[in-house]
Structure 1
Amino acid sequence: MLNEIKANQRNKISLATLLVGLVSISVLLTLTILLVASYQSKKKSLIDTTLTLNFSSAGKMSQTIDSLFKSMRSSLYYSAGIFSNINAMNADEVYSNLELMRHSSNYFNSISVVDETGLVRNVSPESVGTAGKYITTEAAKAALVSQKPYLSKPYISVNSKRLLVFMSEPIFDKEGIYRGFIGGTLYLEEYNILNMIFGSNPTDKVGSYFYIVESDGQVLFHRDTTRLGEDNSANQVVRKLIQGQSGYEQMVNLKGEVLLAGYVKVPENGWGVVVQSPISVVYEQLRRHITAILLYAILPFSLLMLIVIGLARRLAKPFVSLADLVSKIGREKVELPEGKQHWNREVDLLSKAVRYALTAIKKQTDQLTHDAMTDPLTGLTNRRTLEAIMHKWIEEQTSFSIIIMDIDRFKSINDTYGHQAGDEVLKHFAKIIISAVRPSDVCCRFGGEEFIALIPQVAAEEAYLVAERIRNTLENNANPVGKPITVSQGIAHYSLHSDSAEGLIHMADQALYKAKESGRNQTIIAKIRSEEHSH
């Protein structure tokens, strides 16, 4: 029957659970509708915004490159004027001018001057190693023949084996006669002016990235340097750049990735800039948006849930606490709660009734515990407790001495003065023992007129002094029977005399017996037996 009742209780839904469930379902349904509508609206907005931003970024970068190449072209044009009288300049003078130009602008990785015959008059830096040699590359030859400003397509240099782009400006003397050209190179795979300007572009930090292509689709700049010089003309937005178009669109690249791309042509050199973001960037922003909505919604939801749960728990808490308190009785030490008033009348009455009952039980338990540990006549520790303490100290390897005391001729005191007087003598002796030892020492009535003191962290010789103090005090002080009373005592030490509680009591008892045999009223320390010493 009891099991059936418990099973029925488990199948019931509590009021707290019902309230929490209804509130949760209502909020979750409302939140789901809100999230679906917000998701679709935000997705379209984010795609449009990303495309617009990428197109704007590509346009700004295109303007930067356009301005940069105009400055580079202007720098070469200015230097061409310096070298208009190149035939009258020596090699050192040519080199110093080239060095000054390269270091002052940082536009080019290397700069060279070539005369009208194709001879490289000098180059900066010297490590290029083409000074005094005739040009061999098709780009340099084309620049020499054109006698016009020239910009090459990416190619690999014969001498340095570098992937580079070459830009040149023709040199004419004062009579307008063509005297060669001055040319600068960008090493595409090494640090150059493009890296300096675009190397830390902020678009990379949000998952977007950009690249620069030459007019026929070759990659000139990319965050993945292994793609430099790659033909990317098959890409749909690169094809539009080759055709001179600019714009933005959602596209699929050659790897099958869906991207949101903005692309703009550079007017000065015909290059193109592409800024693109993986569609995953949009979905990541959508995830953050939905997370933000959830974070905003979860606060009022959590507050409501906390109020509902708090009310339910506030009603149940005192009953749970009382049940838990009662269940601990008999199994562990119970601390009674403070007698506070409760706002609920039934809970307040029940709490007071349980508190009164537990107070009475605790009082009786404490009294029983005290009686079980204490000798009723003297108030000292009893034998059972003493043995428990000894075993505990031995287990903890605590050094201590034991003094066994036996009142001399106690039977004659009982026979002469009566048992009541004998009891008074025992209580009198117990007070003397307590006054002679430290608070941390253990005093025990072992049985009859026999007493034991445990003195921790004390050698047998020091315990002897304590025992003598007890003996002298008993012998010389007034007592209940009015005639001198003496005591005989035996001392043993753990672990000098024995490693066990029983052996220790036995050794001290033997010393006590020897004191009795030797005329009583004396203290003797147990001797160390040869076999125990060897042990």
Structure 2
Amino acid sequence: MNFTIQDSSALYGLLAESTSDVILKTDLGGSILHASPGLDQLGFVTAGTQTPPRLLDLVAPEARCEVERAYTDALAGCRPGQRVEFPAITTDKRQRWFEIQTQALKSESGEPYGALSILRSIDERRSLEQQLFAATYTDPLTKLTNRAAFVSMLEHMVDKKMDGCLALFSIDFFRTINMQYGQSTGDDVLVVFANLLRELLRAEDIISRIGSERFAVLLPRATPEQAEAICKRVITTLAELRQKVGESRFAITASASVAHIGESLDSTLERAEMALFVAKAKGRNRLELEKALQKVRH
């Protein structure tokens, strides 16, 4: 279809009025020369300003470099159709997320003189993505990260050669608790233990539930001595308390192990698992260090 200038203007007017997307016309410097009415509806107020607002004025400071780079690329004809997501602080003081796509406006000689951009709110999509992330990587009972998230984070620490330790915890006689008191009480025990870990561990420690009664803790930058002291406090505190769980009050104990995060994910897990096996074999309700750390300590 061939459109006259008047046709194109009418079509633009229809699109600008009917879509929730915002159409922006900017000059080479990124100043907004025209914006469709939806801009105010998205929470930006541009009317009444003495000087034209700039495109970057809509963007939160931490994202301005990325948006500016994409704008420069569009003017140069690079990476056509590029979409950039960015946070913005709107006039209601809320951080909201937007997506922008920009295309250069060129003269008959092919020289750019400005750009047209489409601005779209993606708050709802970002919210759904966050909910999906939480569902994928969060244990629904304890609200801790799950095994998949734990493995990913441990792998990251190994790849980046980040120093620290891995601790494993296993609630003692958990199957017996389930059989004697019922599964709902068993679930309460897991929540009680998860809350105790949150209370006693450092803010930077990462706690995950990785199995039925098993928990893993990543302790970034902790020395073996620090990790041992932290985990001993958990074991001791738990054993000294008679927890109120459901309709019952009884002692809960746990076995634990500590291993230094090494050169591979598999070796780190294997050393921690072996030390946990030793802790259980020696009577439970205790902490064991991996053999290498025991040798260093002695």
Shift of 1:13: 5.9
CA distance, structure 1, for counterparts of residue 84 and residue 284 of structure 2:
48
Shift of 1:379: 1.0
Change (3 A) 1:462 1:339: closer
Q: Which has the higher contact order (CA 8 A, sep 6+)?
A: 2
Change (3 A) 1:478 1:315: same
Q: Report if the CA contact (8 A) 2:205-2:220 is conserved.
A: yes
Change (3 A) 1:14 1:398: farther
The one-letter code matched in structure 2 to 1:379 is K
**Higher share in strand:** 2
Equivalent residue number for residue 61 of structure 1: none
Q: Report if the CA contact (8 A) 1:336-1:359 is conserved.
A: no
Q: Report if the CA contact (8 A) 1:468-1:523 is conserved.
A: yes
- Once the two structures are superposed, what CA deviation does each residue of 1:213-258 show, in whole Å capped at 9, x if it has no partner? xxxxxxxxxxxxxxxxxxxxxxxxxxxxxxxxxxxxxxxxxxxxxx
Tell whether 2:117 aligns with 1:365.
Answer: no
Partner SS, residue 528 of structure 1: helix
Shift of 1:528: 2.6
Equivalent residue number for residue 219 of structure 2: 455
* Match of residue 381, structure 1, among 118, 122, 145: 145
CA distance, structure 2, for counterparts of residue 463 and residue 457 of structure 1:
10
Q: Report if the CA contact (8 A) 2:165-2:219 is conserved.
A: yes
Whichever of the two has the greater Rg, that structure is 1
Shift of 1:470: 0.6
Equivalent residue number for residue 87 of structure 2: 335
Change (3 A) 1:453 1:14: farther
Over the aligned positions, Cα root-mean-square deviation in angstroms equals 3.4
CA distance, structure 2, for counterparts of residue 510 and residue 368 of structure 1:
34
Equivalent residue number for residue 233 of structure 2: 469
Equivalent residue number for residue 284 of structure 2: 520
* Match of residue 178, structure 2, among 414, 421, 425: 414
**Higher share in helix:** 1
Change (3 A) 1:459 1:316: same
Shift of 1:507: 0.7
Equivalent residue number for residue 483 of structure 1: 250
Equivalent residue number for residue 314 of structure 1: 34
CA distance, structure 2, for counterparts of residue 14 and residue 513 of structure 1:
78
Matches within 5 A, 1:57-456: 313-315=33-35, 334-335=86-87, 338=90, 355=121, 358-456=122-220
Shift of 1:369: 1.8
Equivalent residue number for residue 506 of structure 1: 270
- Once the two structures are superposed, what CA deviation does each residue of 1:467-492 show, in whole Å capped at 9, x if it has no partner? 11110111111311412111111111
Structure 1 alignment gaps of length 5 or more: 1-7, 19-305, 341-353
CA distance, structure 2, for counterparts of residue 399 and residue 491 of structure 1:
14
Shift of 1:448: 0.5
The one-letter code matched in structure 2 to 1:383 is R
Equivalent residue number for residue 493 of structure 1: 260
The one-letter code matched in structure 2 to 1:429 is F
Shift of 1:500: 0.8
The percent identity for this pair of structures is 26
Partner SS, residue 210 of structure 2: strand
Q: TM-score, normalised by structure 2?
A: 0.60
Shift of 1:383: 1.1
